[in-house]
């Protein structure tokens, strides 16, 4: 039986998928239908790609079949691959968009509490939001800004112990100390009002003794 190199030529075509070849014989004339299918492509548009149709005698098809189908099959294969990659990219974009939307909604909910929430829940969310900003400032090394951001005990009485401890831990990190530690105390004695005797001393307006 003669050896054919048909399959060697077919294997040399750069395609992915299943190559369906249908041959119809009409007397000496042959009609060959070549259709490439790729199950890995999920785009329904692939079903609209028509098959290649070649007609001719057996001799003509033997001589020109692969020259006629190689380039179109390679292009179709690449098209199907690109379609699938596009679908995957589109799906990934949708997922990322959905994730970003959830993040935005979550942030909005934190900034604008649900109207159905109780006053206690709203207050708790407000406190959590403030302390989250304190955490962020502390992480950035902005200890003084973080200290200033800690709410007063009067704002959240039930959190007074927690806020006092937080203020103390933050103030310990100041350089220099927020309260000016190490600075000389201001002498306030000169601010006290003068006594009646002081008012009648023998000094002029500039503090020089009056020789009169």
**Does the pLDDT of residue 79 top 50, yes or no?**
yes
At residue 202, the pLDDT reads 47
Q: Whole-structure pTM over 0.75, yes or no?
A: no
**What is the per-residue burial (b if ≥16 Cβ within 10 Å, else e) of 64-102?**
ebbeebbeebeebbebbbebbeeeeeeeeeeeeeeeeee
Question: Which of 207, 211, 209 has the alpha carbon at shortest distance from 190?
Answer: 207
**Does the pLDDT of residue 1 top 90, yes or no?**
no
**What is the per-residue burial (b if ≥16 Cβ within 10 Å, else e) of 3-38?**
eeeeeeebeebebebeeeeeeeeeeeebebebbbbb
Which phi and psi angles does 176 have, rounded to 5°? -75, 175
Contacts of 134 (CB under 8 A, 6+ apart): 146, 149, 150, 166
Mean pLDDT of the chain: 77
Q: Hey, where are the domains in the chain?
A: 6-91, 113-171
Helix 58-111 to helix 119-139 angle (10° resolution) is 110
Q: What is the DSSP code (8-state) at residue 203?
A: B
Q: What is the DSSP code (8-state) at residue 31?
A: E
Question: Which of 92, 174, 46, 200 has the alpha carbon at shortest distance from 210?
Answer: 200
Contacts of 50 (CB under 8 A, 6+ apart): none
Helix (H), strand (E) at residue 24:
strand 18-26
Distance CA 63, CA 16 (A): 24
Question: How many Å separate Cα 159 from the centre of its chain?
Answer: 33
Contacts of 36 (CB under 8 A, 6+ apart): 15, 17, 18, 19, 20, 49, 73, 76, 77, 80
**Does the pLDDT of residue 63 top 50, yes or no?**
yes
- For residue 22, the SS3 value is strand
**Does the pLDDT of residue 48 top 60, yes or no?**
yes
At residue 101, the pLDDT reads 75
**Does the pLDDT of residue 183 top 50, yes or no?**
no
Helix 160-171 to helix 119-139 angle (10° resolution) is 10
Contact predicate 143/131, CB 8 Å? no
Give mean pLDDT, residues 159-165: 90
Rounded to whole angstroms, the maximal C-alpha distance in the chain is 150
């Amino acid at each position: 039986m003669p050896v054919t190199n048909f399959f060697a030529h077919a294997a040399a075509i750069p395609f992915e998928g299943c190559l369906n070849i249908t041959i119809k014989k009409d007397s000496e004339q042959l009609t060959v239908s070549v259709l490439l299918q790729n199950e890995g492509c999920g785009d329904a548009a692939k079903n609209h790609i028509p098959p290649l149709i070649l007609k001719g005698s057996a001799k003509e098809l033997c001589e020109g079949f692969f020259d006629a189908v190689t380039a179109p099959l390679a292009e179709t294969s690449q098209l199907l691959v690109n379609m699938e990659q596009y679908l995957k990219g589109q799906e990934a974009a949708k997922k990322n968009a959905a994730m970003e939307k959830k993040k935005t909604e979550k942030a909005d909910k934190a900034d604008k509490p649900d109207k159905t929430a109780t006053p206690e829940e709203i207050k708790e969310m407000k406190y959590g939001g403030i302390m989250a900003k304190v955490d962020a400032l502390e992480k950035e090394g902005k200890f003084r800004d973080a200290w200033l951001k800690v709410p007063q005990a009067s704002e959240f009485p039930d959190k007074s112990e927690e806020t006092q401890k937080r203020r103390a831990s933050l103030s310990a990190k100041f350089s220099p100390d927020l309260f000016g530690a190490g600075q000389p105390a201001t002498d306030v004695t000169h601010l006290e009002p003068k006594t009646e005797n002081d008012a009648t001393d023998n000094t002029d307006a500039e503090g020089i003794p009056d020789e009169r």
